[in-house]
């Protein structure tokens, strides 16, 4: 598959929204409310982050990620990203492709490391994928996520250094 990853523009959110809504309304991986509107989703995914990217195949949006500093100024050298893949594009390695792309963008943007703040512990596919890509669980917050089916479950803080110590 000849997947193209490019920066998303404001106009692209209409193609991202179905992916966002399907994932958020499932309530199993992201903390955003099940009732998040398209306008709120655009604020979360497009406007608040530093940049948003999308992956497309034959003109169809199959995945997306955002990148932003994880903290203000004195903590802004570590970035945070979130990834979403369309249901019909699962198990094709697209999350891997998106995460590797985001790491390159992070380095080019001057970030030294990447941190995920709320990796839901029951989302084992994600936990294993991030570990395979070099992220480590550096902490686990007890019952940090209210899972739609399972109730309160733990969430991991995961971290990867992107630039080697000099």
Q: Which is nearer to a second copy, 55 or 119 (CB)?
A: 119
**Strand-pair partners of 155:** 120, 141
Taking the least distance from each CB to a second copy, the nearer of 44 and 92 is 44
CA atoms within 13 A on the CB side of 84: 26
Which of 87, 97, 5, 3 minimizes the C-alpha distance to 51? 5
Quick one: 118 or 133, whose CB is closer to a second copy? 118
With H, G, I as helix, E, B as strand and everything else as coil, classify residue 35.
coil
**Residue 5 or 79: which CB sits closer to a second copy?**
79
Rounded least distance, CB 73 to a second copy, Å: 4
Closest distance of CB 5 from a second copy, Å:
26
Contacts with a second copy, residue ranges (CB under 8 A)? 27, 30-34, 71-78, 112-113, 115, 117-118, 138-148, 152, 155, 157, 159, 161
Token duo for residue 134: 């070099």
Q: How far is the CB of 119 from a second copy (least distance, A)?
A: 12
Least distance from a second copy to the Cβ atom of residue 12, Å: 22
Going by DSSP bridges, is the β-strand pair 51-57/136-147 parallel, antiparallel, or unpaired?
unpaired
Residue placing its CB nearer to a second copy in the complex, 18 or 31 = 31
- In 3D space, the residue among 140, 90, 146 whose CA is nearest the CA of residue 116 turns out to be 140
Provide the H-helix boundaries in the chain: 13-26, 38-42, 94-108, 124-132
Q: Shortest distance, CB of residue 20 to a second copy, whole angstroms? A: 13
């Amino acid at each position: 598959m000849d997947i193209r990853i490019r920066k998303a523009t404001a106009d692209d959110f209409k193609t991202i929204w179905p992916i966002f809504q399907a994932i958020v309304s499932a309530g199993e991986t992201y903390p955003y409310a099940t009732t998040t509107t398209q306008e709120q989703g655009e604020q979360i995914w497009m406007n608040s982050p530093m940049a948003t990217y999308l992956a497309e195949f034959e003109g169809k949006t199959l995945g997306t990620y955002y990148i932003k500093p994880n903290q203000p100024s004195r903590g802004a050298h570590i970035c945070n990203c979130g990834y979403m893949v369309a249901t019909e594009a699962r198990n094709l390695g697209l999350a891997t492709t998106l995460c590797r792309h985001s790491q390159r963008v992070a380095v080019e943007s001057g970030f030294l490391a990447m941190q995920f703040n709320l990796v839901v512990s029951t989302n084992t596919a994600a936990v294993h994928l991030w570990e395979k890509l070099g992220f480590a669980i550096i902490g686990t917050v007890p019952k940090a996520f209210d899972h739609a089916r399972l109730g309160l479950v733990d969430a991991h803080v995961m971290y990867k250094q992107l630039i080697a110590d000099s």
